[in-house]
Homo-oligomer: A and B are copies of this chain.
Amino acid sequence: MTKMNNKNKIFIDKLRSSGLRPTNQRVEISKFLFNRKKTFHFTVEELKSSMNLKRQKKISTATFYNTVHALKSAGHLKEFSLENNTSCYDTNITSHHHFFDNGKVIDIKSDKITFQKLPEAPKGKKIKNVEVVIRLENNN
């Protein structure tokens, strides 16, 4: 078992609160995802490629999927579908919106969009969340 220095505690805690033991692979994934200044968006395939690029011993696809799903279920990641029907994960778990610009996804802070009018939920239902996608195209 690895010697864990205290500076990894926050990444380990995200795993523990997702019901995952902090194994080496998982801690590396958690650090890769959350040890940064800015949040970002990624697909599992992108995550796997960029993390495995620098590694001698590759982390398996299943471990990436399992870990990402657990983090997502615990609320440490948000998930949405890209236009090509693949899952995109977001380390920004605050409520916010997106620009879709030809495959590129850009955050829109929640307070940049406000509503004048919103429909009521059908009876028996209530609103869980409201998400806006603004699709962009090139000028002219």
Contacts and interface: CB of A to CB of B under 8 A. Distances in A.
A125 to B, nearest CB: 4
A139 interface: yes
Interface string A123-140: 011111111111111110
Given A81-B82, A81-B83, A113-B119, 9 more contacts: A85-B86, A101-B122, A114-B116, A125-B137, A125-B138, A128-B135, A129-B134, A130-B135, A133-B133
6 contacts: A108-B119, A119-B134, A121-B136, A129-B135, A131-B132, A131-B135
A124 B108 contact: no
Contacts of A119: 99, 108, 112-113, 134
A135 B131 CA distance: 8
Interface of A is mostly: strand
Interface residues of A, number: 36
Given A85-B87, A132-B131, A124 B112 contact: no
A126 to B, nearest CB: 5
A10 interface: no
